[in-house]
Amino acid sequence: MIEREFFFKRLKSIISLTVLLFLLSHAYAQELKLNDLEYFETQGVNVLVYNNLFTGGFNDEKNAGIELIHHGVRTAQGGAVRLSNTPEQWDLVPEIPTRKVDRASKSIESTLRYKDYDFDSRVMVTAKGSGFEISVYLDKPIPKELEGSAGFNLEFLPSQYWGKAYLADGRYNRFPRYVVGNSVARPNNEKPKQFKGYKTYDDRGTGKFIDPLPLEKGRTFVLAPDEPSRLVKITSQDADLMLFDGRVLAQNGWFVVRSILPSGKTGKVLTWTVEPNAIKGWVREPNIGFSQVGYIPKQQKVAVIELDKKDKPLATASLYRIGNDGGASEVFSGKIISWGDYYKYHYVKFDFTSVTTPGIYYIQYGNFKTNDFLIENNVYDKITDATSDIWIPIHMNHMFVNEAYRVWHGEPFKEGYLQAPPNTDHFDLHAQGPTTDTKYKALEPIPGLNVGGFFDAGDFDIETGANISVVQNFVQTWEYFKPLRDQTFVDQKQRYVDLHRPDGTPDVLQFIEHGTLNLVAQAEIVGHMTQTLSNAVLDNYHHLGDAASLTDGLPYNPDLGPYERAKDGRSSGVKDDMWAFTSRNPRLDLYAATMFAAASRALKGYNDDLSARALVQSKRLLKEATDLLAAKPEDNSPWGASANVGTNLQLYRATGEKQYLDKFQELLWPALDRNVNSTLLTALNAVPHMDAAFKEKLRPYVVKYADYIKGLEKENPYGVPIVLGNWAGSGAILNFGTTICFASQYFPDVVAPGEAFKATNWLFGCHPYHNYSLVATVGATRPKAVFYGNNRADFSFIPGNVAPGILFRKPDHFENYDDWPFLWGQNEGTIAGNTNYLIFGSAFKNLVR
CA distance 767 to 19: 37
User: Using CA atoms, how far apart are residues 531 and 528, in angstroms rounded to an integer?
Assistant: 10
What is the enclosing helix (H) or strand (E) of 34? strand 33-34
- For residues 597 and 473, give the distance between their C-alpha atoms in angstroms, rounded to a whole number: 13
Q: Which of 513, 815, 818, 828 is catalytic?
A: 828
Q: Are strands 400-403 and 496-499 parallel, antiparallel or unpaired?
A: parallel
Helix (H, G, I), strand (E, B) or coil at 167: strand
| Residues found in the chain | 849
Nearest to 47 by CA among 816, 813, 822: 813
Give residue 223's Cα distance to chain centre. 29
Residue/partner pairs of 62-66 with CB below 8 Å, 24 or more apart: 62/155, 62/252, 62/254, 62/822, 62/823, 63/726, 63/809, 63/823, 63/825, 64/93, 66/123, 66/125, 66/134, 66/154
Other CB atoms closer than 10 Å to residue 435's CB: what's the count? 11
153 touches 257 (CB < 8 A): yes
- 67 is annotated as an active-site residue: no
Under a CB-based contact definition with an 8 Å cutoff, are residues 82 and 91 in contact?
Answer: yes
Kindly report the backbone phi and psi dihedral angles of residue 802, in degrees, each rounded to the nearest multiple of 5, phi listed first.
Answer: -110, 115
Q: What torsion do the CA atoms of 612, 615, 617, 621 make, to the nearest 10 degrees?
A: -170
- Residue 169 among the catalytic residues: no
Q: Spell out where 237-367 has E strands.
A: 241-245, 255-260, 267-276, 287-289, 302-307, 316-322, 328-342, 345-351, 359-365
3-state secondary structure 184-237: EECHHHCCCHHHCCCCCCCCCCCCCCEEECCCEEECEEEECCCCHHHCEEEEEC
Task: List residues bridging with 257 in a β-sheet.
Answer: 154, 243
The interaxial angle of helices 730-746 and 831-848, nearest 10 deg, is: 30
Which residues are catalytic, by number? 819, 828
